[in-house]
Amino acid sequence: MGCLAVLWYIGGMSDEEDAQREFEEGQRLLEAEEDAVALAAFDRAISFKRDFALAWWGRGIALQQLDRYEDAIASYDQALEHEPDLPDAWA
């Protein structure tokens, strides 16, 4: 396998890990009440994995904390679209 093919393969494997890392950072920031920064972390997680329901859910929480209720509802809707049985998004 050539160098470019190896780099492509490694790059493809890291999106899920990057999404998880950003999600965990967003969770940490929510706990620290850094809601705007948490929102950015959840957005990055979603950019790595568009169907990451928990990141959409975290994004909704951050938006709700920022009094952006309509955007929060839209994020919760996205979370449920990707994972209909996600209990926290129904709360």
What's the confidence (pLDDT) of residue 13?
A: 53
Rounded Cα distance between 50 and 14, Å, is 14
Assign 57 a pLDDT band (cuts: 50, 70, 90).
very high
Mean pLDDT of 47-66: 97
pLDDT reading at 11 higher than 60: no
pTM over 0.95: no
Assign 63 a pLDDT band (cuts: 50, 70, 90).
very high
